[in-house]
Chains A and B, each alone.
Chain A
Amino acid sequence: MSDPQHPHSVETSAQGSSQGASLDELGGRISKARHGAGLDKSAEELGELERGAGADLSAAWRISIEIVVALVVCTAIGWALDYWFGTKPWLMLLFLFLGGAAGINNAVRTALRMDAQAAEVMQRKAQTKASTAKKE
């Protein structure tokens, strides 16, 4: 991909991890300036996109697929191992429960992440609302 070096995103395309600390400082200053200018909308935009058409459906897909995939694939692995070792139902049963646990594990983690993201967006919204109220 080409390197769009337009002036508007110089701050995001800055390279080099060796100066990590100074970059972080610069990033902090930029976000502060953007916040002051009322340009701090990226998280909100992401939230809007997520809440757009089909977003609830996609959230449901995101979580349910974790459970279904882990359960089905782990059970299949158990079945295959049984087939190899000739221990007919036992490994399949073991992997059925392990798969269920792994699926729930991934699903809960996804849900917690989505929760944290939503909370962050709401917090940011409240902040911008408060700052605009202060200006007026």
Chain B
Amino acid sequence: MSADRHIDHSSPMHQFVIGRLNDWQLGGLDISFSKAAAFMFGAVIVATLFLVLTTSKRSMVPGRWQSVSELWYEFIADMIKETIGSDGRKYFPFVFSLFSFIVMCNLLGMLPYAYTVTSHIAVTITLALSVFILTTFIGITRHGTHFLSFFVPKGVPLVMLFLVVPIEVLSYFMRPISHSVRLFANMTAGHTMLKVFGAFVVQMGVFGVLPFALIVALTGLEVAIAVLQAYVFTILTCLYLNDAIHLEH
């Protein structure tokens, strides 16, 4: 992280520096509590508190806040039902937690002075790899060696298999990478763009009104993208789970 410290404060990339909140060392390992860790804890705490507090009454006719929680719950439940079917019910807690964590990290990152956890590939690839390992594990435990037939498309001549199988295997292993890069690139690009236009506002003096108006629109777009990217990450998780459970492309 030492290279990060050389980033100038006015740089649009400065917002992505992982600041330490204290300085803890354990056997030569840096285990300092960082800004990233703080925001991850924050996302978990906010999501948990919101869901627990709004559903604590469990009223028959939901109030305003309970409706939000129910919508949130049913959104994921419907997504699983439509992409996986009733076999996917078991994985609801995993998918729901994943969605809640990502959407909270993305939205907390939209607050002024906040830090966007999902703008770091280390975070998104950890999430994507956990999905990848889980789906592969499910595929192997459910289907045993039959899982390997996933890499052999039906109706392909034997000669072509020497070419097609490596391509299928490579495609499979590219999944966690594209899964994580998509979220990371969207968040990083959006937040950098906001900062760049913010610098224009300062530099252009009176004419800074124009980029300022654009920033207002872009901020709205960024909020939409924050939710949309969490949705995309989650629905791809569902699709990968479906592949592992039903062994079809």
Binding site for B on A (CB under 8 A): 1-2, 4-9, 12-15, 17, 20, 23-24, 27, 42-43, 46, 49-50, 52-55, 57-58, 61-62, 65-66, 69-70, 73-74, 98-99, 101-103, 105-106, 109, 113
**Cβ–Cβ < 8 Å partners of A106 in chain B:** 171, 174-175, 178
**Cβ–Cβ < 8 Å partners of B51 in chain A:** 1-2, 4
**Cβ–Cβ < 8 Å partners of A9 in chain B:** 70, 73-74, 77
Q: How far is the CA of A23 from the CA of B185 in the complex (A)?
A: 40
Contact (Cβ within 8 A) A62 B89: no
> B93-109 toward A: CB 8 Å interface, digit per residue (1/0)?
10011001000000000
Contact (Cβ within 8 A) B177 A54: no
**Given A1-B93, A42-B82, are A73 and B224 neighbors across the interface (CB < 8 Å)?**
no
Contact (Cβ within 8 A) A46 B221: no
Q: How far is the CA of A50 from the CA of B170 in the complex (A)?
A: 29
Q: How far is the CA of A20 from the CA of B85 in the complex (A)?
A: 11
Contact (Cβ within 8 A) A17 B89: yes
Contact (Cβ within 8 A) B70 A49: no
Q: Secondary structure at chain A's binding surface: helix, strand, loop or mixed?
A: helix
User: B177 is contacted by which of A13, A17, A20, A69 (Cβ under 8 Å)?
Assistant: A69
Interface residues of B in 207-229 (CB under 8 A from A): 220-221, 224-225, 227-229
**Given A9-B73, A69-B178, are A61 and B185 neighbors across the interface (CB < 8 Å)?**
yes
B69 at the interface (CB under 8 A from A): yes
**Cβ–Cβ < 8 Å partners of A52 in chain B:** 224, 228
- Most interface-central of B69, B171, B227 (chain A CB within 10 A): B171
**Given A1-B93, A54-B224, A105-B168, are A12 and B177 neighbors across the interface (CB < 8 Å)?**
no
